[in-house]
Amino acid sequence: MQTRTNEDWLSDLRGDNQDQAIEDLRRVLKRGLIYALSSRIQTDLETQVDDFVQDAILRILDKMGTFRGESKFTTWAQKVAVRVAFTEMRRQRWKDISIEDLMPEDSGDFTPMVLSDPSPDPEKRASQTIMLEMVDEMLKNDLTDRQRTALMAVMHGGMPLEEVARRMDTNRNALYKLLHDARKQMRSGLIEKGLTAQEVLEVFENG
């Protein structure tokens, strides 16, 4: 495989030598992804990497205009390929799990980490119980269905934002705003109910 400068890669991938340049890039990306993913994928590594590389090449060809030349082109391309691979691996992990599967039958099952200490002192435990009841009540009564679904999927279920956004037919920015508004609403409500700002912060920073 010939050695190319950044300018050579861009020129070849856009010009008459595109087919050969794509094949050379495919080999570079495959070698890099096999190294990066060998500890994460236990079966059919090469087959999965081939699929990731194919998707990555399409993304690279589409995004070449964003390459600023601050690194080697192949280094930039490898970063694109790794992002593509990790995104697809997350999607595969969650593909058989619906958001409904992450929603407990009783929203009281949502317990932020700060409220789940198994052995606090009695006074702290009583305070935690009151806080949990407040959180549960607000989840049930003060949020919209979409706010509650998003909050439970991310905070309780641990589903990645990108996957929740896809399932809810929205985008990451809109989902982030939905979650931000839900948390802000719950923070304000909990403070109105008598919690201190620090207690509310602990619920949402550790939950």
pLDDT in tens, 73-128: 999 999 999 988 887 887 776 665 655 555 555 444 454 444 445 555 565 566 66
CATH fold for domain 6-94:
Rna Polymerase Sigma Factor; Chain: A (1.10.1740)
Contact 44, 76 (CB under 8 A): no
Contact 135, 110 (CB under 8 A): yes
Q: What is the spatial distance between Cα 170 and Cα 178, in angstroms, rounded to a whole number?
A: 10
- Residue spans of the domains in the chain: they are 6-94, 99-206
Instruction: Give the helix ranges, DSSP H, for the chain.
Output: 6-14, 18-37, 45-63, 73-94, 99-102, 122-141, 145-151, 161-167, 172-192, 197-206
Dihedral in degrees, nearest 10, Cα atoms 52, 58, 63, 64: 110
Q: Could you tell me which residues come within 8 angstroms of residue 140 by beta carbon, excluding any fewer than 6 positions away? A: 107
Q: Which amino acid is at 184?
A: K
Name residues of the chain where pLDDT drops below 50. 106-109, 111-116, 206-207
The pTM of the full predicted model, rounded to 2 decimals, is 0.50
pLDDT (0 to 100) of residue 206: 47
Domains 6-94 and 99-206 share a fold: no
pLDDT (0 to 100) of residue 201: 62
135 exposure class (CB count in 10 Å sphere: 0-12, 13-18, 19+): buried
Q: What is the spatial distance between Cα 178 and Cα 161, in angstroms, rounded to a whole number?
A: 11
Pick 99-206's CATH classification: 3.30.70.20, 2.70.170.10, 2.40.70.10, 1.10.10.10: 1.10.10.10
pLDDT (0 to 100) of residue 94: 63
